[in-house]
Structure 1
Amino acid sequence: MLSANRASSRRLLSCPCPLLSVEPTRGLVDEKLRVFVTNLNPNQQVTIHCLHYSEDRDYWEAFGHYVGDEQGTVTVAKDSSVGGTYTGVESMALMWSLRPVPGSRTGLRLRKSDVLSPMIFHISVYDGHMTQDFKQLTPLVTTVIERWYMAPGVQRVNVREKGVKGTLFIPPALGPFPGVLDMWGGGGGLVEYRAALFASHGFVAFALEYLSIDEKKDINTTYFEEAYQIMQEHPMVQRDRLALVGLSFGASVALSMAAYSSLIKPQCCICISGSHVTPVRNTLSEVYKDLNRMLYKMRVEDNQVIWRDIILPIPKDLTKKVDVGRIRCPLLLVVGDDDQNWATLESAEDIERMTEVAGNRHLLKVLVYPGAGHLIEPPYTPHHRATNFMVYGKHKVIMLWGGQTKQHAYAQEDSWEKMLDFLHQHLRCAAPQARL
């Protein structure tokens, strides 16, 4: 190692002063980066490294190995990485291939809690093709960038009304705007970052909290109807242009409300990595009791919990699933075919059959992504194949979500663009989009 450091030091002395350009230096998390390195020696080998210190006080890194051209230039969007945490021509892999640095805690997941602050990344260039001990190496050049979920002017408003808890995000332009009721899954708590990003694209978004570890009362369907009406009655919301968006268990809620509620009449629904086999007809405790009775189907492989078999085989009995044939608005399903947490592919196939029988197949659009797992998040979020998870807020396990990194990254980028297009199309949104 000592001789390698000496060799690196000799190369540094002979190198010109490299220049690193990363644009934008301050932008939204779904904006693509443009990364250029210039003023290298011809055909010089370099490592481009990205480092992030998370809110959970863990370090995450991604890096690619590049060879400069005859002019001493590397363009990440055009040049191929020959090694590192990714290979090939990948313009955004410095974000989506992030992983905990060696020696970190196991089962980590990178998520943003405080959307009022940016995610900060240090992007550096090192001489040679390095794979470890970056902290002990001196970079040729470093730049710092900010990635935001909230665009300038987006308002964040706490909601504590009619027993409903959540956060409302309002775009900065003149309203009123179309609205999105945003619901996450069984992990519980208040998750705001996707709603903040929706607001940055011209929608009033309501991040709804409905599962909490310290929850003292059971949630019933009235809770979701109250949340929907709070959005309808807000002066910055167009009451007849509302959508439901749900991920995992949140998708079950969205499907159930769209099918059965007399008060919730969305113009469209988006269900990400969800199923219709866990209908919400009365209280959430009833749903969880039904799930508990199926836990014997759970598998554990390599100390990782696999839940997808819990709802298999898909029942034929309509009393055991949402009657999706009752849904009268456009419905978008986003599915990863390597989802190891939930039987979303089989569920999507059954939903297709049910809507065909009901004469509503024309309202359904299904996006199936090969190699994608369960946690389909906003674009360029790192892929997490397995992470820590609290089961019912009591027992920590390693949950297998599935997915292969590059395919999953593609699914996140493509589905986010298609989800925004879907919302704009069916909510007829002509509001300007904010940019940093």
Structure 2
Amino acid sequence: MALARARILAGPCRLNGGGSAWQRGGQAPWRGIGTSVAMTESSCCPLLSVRPQRGLVDEKFRIVLRNLLPKQEVTLRSLHHSEDKDFWEAFGHYISDENGVVNVVEDASVGGTYVGRKPMGLLWSMKPIPGSRSGLRLRKKDVFKPLVVTVSVYGGHVSKGFSEIKALATVVTERWYTAPGVQRVDIDEHEVKGTLFLPPGPGPFPGVLDLWGGGGGLVEYRAALLASHGYASLALEYLSPDRLDVKPSYFEKAYQVLQSHHLVAPDRMALLGLCLGACVTLTLVAHSKVVQPQCCVSINGSHVLPVDQSIDQAFLHFNKNVDKMVTDKNNHIIGRNHILPISSDPAQKVAVGSIKCPVLLVVGEDDQSWATLESAEDMTEMMSKAGNDHLLTVLSYPGAGHLIEPPYTPHFRFSNFTFQGSNQKVVLLWGGHTEPHAHAQEDSWEKILLFLQQHLHKSQDFLHQAKL
């Protein structure tokens, strides 16, 4: 087993850099430059640039502010208006160098929603603006529209009242889950419902069955991003308030639908699951004779909750152990104890000793929803005894919570949640602390992509990529 522990006064006028349009339909280069300038009394033509102005959500950008006075105090702020009509913001306090330049990649924020040299802090430290509704979570719904983030600069070190202050310079950036050429295909066949995202090109492509958690519904953005990285990804809908009795055969049919698609390589398949979706993933690769992937990824799930008969098993377990769920001082539900203590009886758990494909476990050590750290330790012991622990890689992140998502997604320590079946609305404590959680998301995503590449791409694929 491999173990990795990841411990300025006038309104702005805009100058758009050339070649900055997002290429959709073969129009223009998709990597662009955004710039904005403004004349002020205290500095001459402040210039703010964000490169690339348009890019994938997991792509780093570079923010540079020039033409300031030496040692000038400024605030960089990001603002996003979500599809749910809520405003999210982050901001950092900077001091320009002797040349009047702030380079966010190299310079440290001395205050704000993040501190230190954090090039992507304006994204991952976003929070709802003061006065917003409580318990919010930022999730993309329409993946064929960008996540629009406005980056602005203000004179001085500002922490509130941004709407009452004129920005010195502003750039509007776009963050996309879909790269140019990615196709979306609605799936409704053999009782299977979901969305298939296909990369651009002739194929065939490796296939990934993408399973989200107990919140239910159809969640597309991770599958869209996987397609942007070359994987035919099926975001599967398997939970709804009136549909909890989902048998393993449903997931097997979904696997076969993906595997049989003419643009999918049938011998290069993977499963990726988060939360309850991770429990399903582990159950399938251990017990199913139909689902035989080349590898699988489990993000903050557990083998302690087998769903080899029906998904309803999980909800019966929750109801049976509801007394183990406690609340914090803010009445946020802490659910991690519902699978503790972990049984020593192998019959009560997924038979992980029978897994025959490489498994990547991603663990948030401050997960307050599931006891994922204890589960990973028990899985390691079980697979060691069975002699297949060489197939197991564990990425364990101190300070990370339950919702480990693609890079630069804002961290939510808690959020509103509706239990499927009962329709009960609560606030769940997911855990994690913003900076280490952001690190876990960035590091684990990079390693997930490397893991998929290692096990789903043939040698000629690596050779082709090396030539590019």
**2:31 paired residue number:** none
Q: TM-score, normalised by structure 1?
A: 0.95
**1:405 paired residue number:** 434
- The alpha-carbon deviation at position 12 of structure 1 amounts to 4.1
**2:247 paired residue number:** 220
Question: For the residues of structure 1 that align with 2:92 and 2:42, how far apart are their CA atoms?
Answer: 23
CA deviation profile, 1:384-421 (whole Å, cap 9, x unmatched): 00111112251111100000100000000000000000
Please give the secondary structure, in 2, of the residue aligned with 1:125: strand
Question: For the residues of structure 1 that align with 2:319 and 2:354, how far apart are their CA atoms?
Answer: 27
- The alpha-carbon deviation at position 290 of structure 1 amounts to 2.2
CA deviation profile, 1:154-209 (whole Å, cap 9, x unmatched): 00000000101000000002200110000000000000000000000000000000
**1:183 paired residue number:** 211
Structure 1 residues 21-420: aligned runs within 5 Å:
21-215=49-243, 218-302=245-329, 303-392=331-420, 394-420=423-449
- The alpha-carbon deviation at position 295 of structure 1 amounts to 1.1
- The alpha-carbon deviation at position 287 of structure 1 amounts to 2.8
CA deviation profile, 1:15-37 (whole Å, cap 9, x unmatched): 21200000111100000010000
- The alpha-carbon deviation at position 252 of structure 1 amounts to 0.4
Structure 2 unaligned segments of length 5 or more: list them.
1-8, 11-38
More moved, 53-62 vs 423-432: 423-432
User: What is the one-letter code of the residue matched to 1:361?
Assistant: D
Structure 1 stretches of 4+ moved >6 Å? none
% identity of equivalent residues:
58
User: What is the one-letter code of the residue matched to 2:289?
Assistant: S
Please give the secondary structure, in 2, of the residue aligned with 1:160: strand
**2:13 paired residue number:** none
Question: For the residues of structure 1 that align with 2:103 and 2:201, how far apart are their CA atoms?
Answer: 36
Contact 1:251 / 1:271 at 8 angstroms: preserved in 2?
Answer: yes
Please give the secondary structure, in 1, of the residue aligned with 2:378: helix
User: What is the one-letter code of the residue matched to 1:385?
Assistant: R
**2:25 paired residue number:** none
Please give the secondary structure, in 1, of the residue aligned with 2:152: strand
Question: For the residues of structure 2 that align with 1:290 and 1:128, how far apart are their CA atoms?
Answer: 54
CA deviation profile, 1:86-111 (whole Å, cap 9, x unmatched): 00000000000000000000000011
Question: For the residues of structure 1 that align with 2:305 and 2:424, how far apart are their CA atoms?
Answer: 21
Question: For the residues of structure 2 that align with 1:143 and 1:290, how far apart are their CA atoms?
Answer: 50
CA deviation profile, 1:198-236 (whole Å, cap 9, x unmatched): 000000000000011343x72101100000000111000
Q: TM-score, normalised by structure 2?
A: 0.89
Contact 1:12 / 1:127 at 8 angstroms: preserved in 2?
Answer: no
Question: For the residues of structure 1 that align with 2:433 and 2:310, how far apart are their CA atoms?
Answer: 36
Contact 1:124 / 1:141 at 8 angstroms: preserved in 2?
Answer: yes
**1:422 paired residue number:** 451
Question: For the residues of structure 1 that align with 2:385 and 2:125, how far apart are their CA atoms?
Answer: 42
User: What is the one-letter code of the residue matched to 2:442?
Assistant: E
Question: For the residues of structure 1 that align with 2:108 and 2:308, how far apart are their CA atoms?
Answer: 52
